[in-house]
Structure 1
Amino acid sequence: MIQLAQIVFILSVLVILHEFGHYITAKWFKVRVEKFYLFMDAGFSLFKKKIGETEWGIGWLPIGGYVKLAGMIDESMDTEQMKQEPQPWEFRSKPAWQRLIIMLGGIIVNILLAWFIYTVMYTTVGKKYVSTEVIQKNGLAFGEVGQKAGFKNGDKIVSVDGKFQDNFSRMVMDILFSSEVKVDRNGEVVTLNLTDEQIGDILAKEGRNFIAPRMQGATVDSVWADTQAEKAGLKKGDSIIALNGNKFKFTDEFSSTLGHYKNDSVSITLIRNNKEEILKAKTDSIGKLGFMFRTYLKDDYVIEQKMSLFEAIPAAIKESWSLLVYNVKSFKLILRPATGAYKQVKSPVGIARQLPDTWNWEFIWNFTALFSIGLAFMNLLPIPGLDGGHALFTIAEMITGKTLSDKAAGYVQTAGMIILLTLMALTFGKDIVQLIIDKFF
């Protein structure tokens, strides 16, 4: 329920402020705003109240919101008004440059919101990020898919497309967007060029977890029930120091060596209560015992940089721009079918499931800023039905001097809405089916 409450709160803030961007610019240019809705009111609304010329309401379908402007074919698909003579207060009666500003008003507010949130965060709790330099001090560990792509345990990232990324989370994304990765492997610089198929394997099987810091101190974090590890007597908190008498320094060395023993007996040397013990165990058919090592905590590698207001303002602008660039790169990745990135697109249902199950205002506002830039980018896309689609036709009108007919505009808007609703149905359906599978199967 807390995850649901968080996504509803975040979506409400973003939708209200996005639509307010359209509302305030429309009012500046004296365009009548007939409706202002949070969420869609298809068939009926949960709440509505008319104040002045505007009906304010909350719809029942949480997939966005809208403002209905007099004299414009929009999400409401109200074409009756367009059959009447244009009135001075209508959207269609305004110059193209004013209509363009109104169309871009929501996008501008989304970008300003992210900039404002980051400015406040940087001056209060500070800018926080996981340091790439610190996290790869002992090298990096890679999952099976990452190793198949050419990485090796112990590699250190030197550059991605010629640049070194200080932020580890961003560096992981950079690798997935890259055409060239250089790594330091035992003092030698090795160049890797990931194929779309390799990127697709990483996204489908391991995601961002395909890369992690190389961990020293092999401390057992959990032992699964009814496994060989439990039968052997392994316990949480045990520190493993050797396998079959061979000592190791990093946990990945233990795991890779253990993988060579399938359906075989092994001896595990460990420290328990400051005493050395040896346990006998038998591996399964894939060389596993059934336990997990303690994984890294991002907080151990976090850099906190608190800023003054004058430092925070340009840093927040830079961060907002950087996120917009990452949205562009993500979209380009989605358009490369071999990567399968389109399968990773999530609806609000899928996003909500990734949110923490405790209410954390710092996380919520950071996520709101991140999501706000994503919403701005999505609406910039030149797709009929989105702000970018409206803006594209308005810009074409400014260049050619020709206006799209009301009939053609209706067809375009209908086509756009069909496309958008189809995409929403697919993403919502995928995430709801996955939710059911995870809960009941």
Structure 2
Amino acid sequence: MQTLVMIVQFILGLSIIVGIHELGHLLFAKLFGMRVESYTIGFPPKIFRFKWRETEYGIGALPLGGSVKIAGMIDESLDTKHTNQPPQPWEFRSKPAWQRLLVMLGGIMLNALTGIFIYICITLTLGDTYLSKEEVNKHGILPHSTGIILGFQEGDKIIHINGKDFTNFADVFSPRTLLETNGYYTVERNGQQVRIDIPANLLEKLAADKEKVEFVSPRIPFVIKAIQPNSGAQQAGLHPGDRIMEINRQSTLYFNQLQAILQAHAGHQVAITYLRNGNLEHTTGQVNAAGKLGFCTNSLLEYQKKKYNLAQAIVVGSKRAIEIVRINVVALGKIITGKVSASKSLSGPIGIAQIFGGQFDWIHFWNIVGFLSMVLAFTNLLPIPALDGGHAVLLGYELITGRRVSGKVLENIQKVGLAILLLLIAYGFFNDLRKLFW
């Protein structure tokens, strides 16, 4: 069922993003009086189509892209029949270069505006809920496998990132932080400050270890939320609201400590010291074979909540959307310079689908759609033949020099571009399979 939910979200999300992108081309083309022959979401064969005025609208069976066919334009279809005929006033090629440029950039602009709009709406609706640095540093952090390799120790307090103060604990493992050149953390350990460098390939390591990006997490103080019937906790007389302070004279102030001690005493009777109504109490309880006493907990960490009005949400949401593009620029630079491995960083359709996940949540869904919309805008702006950015470079050349690139040259450039795109798609798909099975 989770796989089905993931596939449905992937198809729906990608269709929205691609549909908006192609709509950007269509709107500008029609604005400048160009004839749009077809608008399609997905690749052939078409499973649905209808015609309105001169344009056929359709949905393809393969939801991995889309297209807009504009009369008089050499695009990925490589249709060159019109090149032997005189230009017609409704054709792409008969329009001024600045109009053709706006048509090519229309999809990018609409994707970017959509991503910004989504982030503004999410920011306005939800605001921010986060753990502050101060709250986490009351208790210190718990490093996981990659965090231990980096040099973190349990109880460390992260006080600076790249020598600067920060507020939101999530900044510790944000892409902006992890992709920073010569980045580092400053931690307080036993009253001394220690520097921990951020490797240039940290994101690679996290992917290779199949570990969550949160390579460190806060230590969690806890209180008992509920007691399971007929459990060791019930027999010990524990109640909701109790705090387990020690087990067999070992501290259990934090949940990870509790888990480790219970696992070590699985199947045994243990001495329990707990806090109830400000008083320390003592009892004994039976740990089951799975290393459980039989209760669930609530975290005592206090989260900060912040709401934004419309003007604030516009500023904050826009910054968050634009930050996605900045992060992609930095990541691409690291891939090109060899600081980050392309094979471990680039994904295909399977990897994109996995971002949506197997649980459906509207906020998560729109957050991913907004993210991918900004990524698509950035990707299409790259000066690769067959992409919008490649067309924009040629039209920019025409605007500057006044010389138009010939139809034959455009056709050959499109062929090269399509070959590059097909290779990149195949490479991304291979990476997906490698990550799944190797």
- What is the TM-score when the length of structure 2 is the normalising length? 0.79
Picking from 207, 211, 220, the partner of 2:216 is 211
**Secondary structure of the equivalent of 1:195?**
coil
- 1:287-326 correspondence runs (5 A): 303-326=304-327
Change (3 A) 1:168 1:19: farther
**CA offsets, 1:335-385, max 9 Å, x none?**
454543642433332232343434322222222212211111111111112
Change (3 A) 1:418 1:294: farther
- 1:86-125 correspondence runs (5 A): 86-123=87-124, 125=125
Alignment match, 1:201 = 205
Question: Which amino acid in 2 is paired with 1:37?
Answer: T
- Find the aligned partners of 1:143 and 1:119 in 2 and give their Cα distance: 34
**CA offsets, 1:187-212, max 9 Å, x none?**
43333323335553233212403121
Number of equivalent positions: 411
**Which ranges in structure 2 are unaligned for 5 or more consecutive residues?**
227-239
Picking from 14, 33, 40, the partner of 2:17 is 14
Alignment match, 1:392 = 393
Question: Which amino acid in 2 is paired with 1:346?
Answer: S
- Find the aligned partners of 1:243 and 1:150 in 2 and give their Cα distance: 29
- Find the aligned partners of 2:298 and 2:173 in 1 and give their Cα distance: 16
1:220–1:240 CA contact under 8 A, matched in 2: no
- Find the aligned partners of 1:149 and 1:241 in 2 and give their Cα distance: 30
**Secondary structure of the equivalent of 1:104?**
helix
Change (3 A) 1:105 1:301: farther
**Secondary structure of the equivalent of 1:209?**
coil
Change (3 A) 1:117 1:143: same
- Find the aligned partners of 1:399 and 1:302 in 2 and give their Cα distance: 54
6-15 or 242-251, larger mean C-alpha shift: 242-251
Alignment match, 2:128 = 128
For residue 267 of structure 1, report the CA deviation from its aligned partner.
9.5
98-107 or 158-167, larger mean C-alpha shift: 158-167
Picking from 235, 242, 247, the partner of 2:251 is 247
For residue 3 of structure 1, report the CA deviation from its aligned partner.
1.9
Question: Which amino acid in 2 is paired with 1:108?
Answer: M
Change (3 A) 1:94 1:359: same
- Find the aligned partners of 2:291 and 2:363 in 1 and give their Cα distance: 39
Alignment match, 1:177 = 179
- 1:38-437 correspondence runs (5 A): 38-41=41-44, 44-123=45-124, 125-133=125-133, 134-173=135-174, 174-178=176-180, 179-186=182-189, 187-197=191-201, 199-205=203-209, 206-217=211-222, 245-247=249-251, 249-250=253-254, 276-277=283-284, 303-335=304-336, 337-340=338-341, 342-431=343-432, 437=437
Change (3 A) 1:84 1:204: same
Identical columns (%): 34
Question: Are residue 27 (structure 1) and residue 27 (structure 2) matched?
Answer: no
381-390 or 318-327, larger mean C-alpha shift: 318-327
Question: Are residue 4 (structure 1) and residue 24 (structure 2) matched?
Answer: no
- Find the aligned partners of 1:268 and 1:403 in 2 and give their Cα distance: 83
Change (3 A) 1:269 1:82: farther
**Which ranges in structure 1 are unaligned for 5 or more consecutive residues?**
222-236, 283-287
- What is the TM-score when the length of structure 1 is the normalising length? 0.79
Alignment match, 2:237 = none
**Secondary structure of the equivalent of 1:118?**
helix
For residue 301 of structure 1, report the CA deviation from its aligned partner.
6.0
- Find the aligned partners of 1:302 and 1:71 in 2 and give their Cα distance: 58
- Find the aligned partners of 1:336 and 1:277 in 2 and give their Cα distance: 60
1:31–1:69 CA contact under 8 A, matched in 2: yes
1-10 or 12-21, larger mean C-alpha shift: 1-10
**Secondary structure of the equivalent of 1:97?**
helix
- Find the aligned partners of 1:426 and 1:267 in 2 and give their Cα distance: 56
For residue 433 of structure 1, report the CA deviation from its aligned partner.
6.4
208-217 or 57-66, larger mean C-alpha shift: 208-217
**CA offsets, 1:241-282, max 9 Å, x none?**
6677543544556789999x9xxx999755799864477999
Change (3 A) 1:58 1:245: same
**Secondary structure of the equivalent of 1:189?**
strand
- Find the aligned partners of 1:63 and 1:8 in 2 and give their Cα distance: 8
- Find the aligned partners of 1:217 and 1:86 in 2 and give their Cα distance: 74
Change (3 A) 1:47 1:242: same
